[in-house]
């Protein structure tokens, strides 16, 4: 029970990595508020449901207030809400570029802005932002997503400096290819999906996709007192992709 007594808000909790984190955090004793723009995925949990789009500043403010009211305060935040987008810069519309930055970078910042006063009021806490390997090295055909995730990595490090005086640790997790609905979108529409999937897996030292639970385990570590001397890091959890 590494999160006993902790009150934690998780965004993007309806699916994939966010959902796996919610399941693991609940097993570890956390009281949870779960934020997503997809209501359906939240109803299975015994948690404070928070419907919001992370790009909507007013809705995020109301959702974080509801989370704090429902939980009686806030000790931790995990930002998982995100969106992938394939396309070269010259192929994607400016609106699509704007949406990718808005969801993956500004969205996480919106939730952090709303949550930091509550974490300070609690005497400290943790923030884990789920960035991506795409924030550490370039990927083909993903200019907007890489830019957004690299921005999220540096945002996390900068925020760590701003809030350390409040006892708040901020870290980023950078997953490799993780077997979720989002990942499936990156090979299902290829001319030969099986060959594309195999090609992606071969980029990884461990030769396979990761599971949502393997990322949730890293998020748990950074959110727990096991990581009490860790802040401002970007932790690759990527089957060795970073140096391969
Ligand atoms: P997913 O598609 O399974 O889940 C994403 C969740 O975020 C969904 O429940 C969705 O409704 C929610 N969401 C999306 N936009 C939102 C918005 N504007 N406001 C509120 N909720 C919103 O995706 P997955 O794979 O679990 O991804 C989670 C995070 O991990 C994302 O930030 C993604 O970029 C990142 N990531 C995923 C990788 C993968 O291979 N699956 C690899 C590296 C990073």
The CA–CA distances, whole Å, from 23 to 17, 29, 126, 142 equal 10, 10, 18, 30
135 ligand 1 Cβ < 6 A: no
**Is residue 99, in this structure, part of any structural domain at all?**
yes
**Is residue 112, in this structure, part of any structural domain at all?**
yes
Domain span at residue 184 reads: 177-209
pTM over 0.85, yes/no: yes
105 ligand 1 Cβ < 6 A: no
Give the model's pLDDT for residue 242: 86
Tell me, yes or no, whether 52 and 133 share the same domain. yes
Q: Please state, as a whole number, how many other Cβ atoms lie within 10 Å of the Cβ of residue 106.
A: 19
Question: Average of pLDDT values for 114-118?
Answer: 99
For the chain, the domain total comes to 2
244 pLDDT exceeds 80? no
Tell me, yes or no, whether 90 and 189 share the same domain. no
Tell me, yes or no, whether 205 and 141 share the same domain. no
Q: How far is the CA of 68 from the centre of ligand 1 (A)?
A: 23
Tell me, yes or no, whether 118 and 187 share the same domain. no
**Mean of pLDDT over the chain:** 97
**Is residue 1, in this structure, part of any structural domain at all?**
no
243 pLDDT exceeds 80? no
Question: Average of pLDDT values for 201-230?
Answer: 97
**Is residue 242, in this structure, part of any structural domain at all?**
no
Give the model's pLDDT for residue 159: 99
* Nearest atom of ligand 1 to the alpha carbon of 17: 26
Tell me, yes or no, whether 205 and 232 share the same domain. no
Write out the two tokens for 57: 């500043």
Write the DSSP string, 94-108. Answer: HHHHHHHHIIIIIHH
């Amino acid at each position: 029970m590494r999160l006993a007594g902790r009150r934690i808000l998780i965004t993007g909790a309806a699916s994939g990595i966010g959902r796996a984190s919610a399941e693991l955090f609940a097993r570890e004793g956390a009281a949870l508020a779960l934020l997503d723009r997809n209501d359906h995925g939240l109803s299975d949990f015994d948690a404070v449901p928070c419907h919001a789009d992370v790009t909507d500043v007013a809705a995020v403010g109301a959702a974080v207030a509801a989370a704090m009211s429902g939980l009686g305060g806030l000790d931790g935040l995990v930002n998982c809400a995100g969106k992938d987008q394939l396309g070269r810069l010259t192929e994607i519309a400016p609106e699509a570029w704007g949406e990718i930055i808005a969801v993956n970078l500004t969205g996480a910042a919106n939730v952090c802005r709303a949550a930091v006063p509550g974490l300070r009021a609690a005497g400290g806490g943790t923030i884990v932002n789920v960035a991506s390997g795409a924030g550490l090295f370039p990927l083909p055909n993903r200019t907007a997503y890489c830019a957004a995730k690299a921005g999220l990595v540096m945002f996390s490090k900068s925020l760590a400096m701003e809030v350390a005086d409040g006892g708040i640790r901020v870290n980023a997790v950078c997953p490799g290819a993780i077997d979720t609905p989002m990942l499936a979108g990156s090979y299902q529409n290829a001319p030969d999906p099986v060959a594309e999937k195999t090609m992606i897996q071969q980029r990884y030292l461990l030769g396979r996709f990761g599971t949502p639970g393997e990322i949730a385990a890293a998020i748990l570590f950074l959110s727990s007192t096991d990581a009490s001397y860790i802040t401002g890091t970007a932790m690759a959890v990527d089957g060795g992709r970073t140096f391969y």
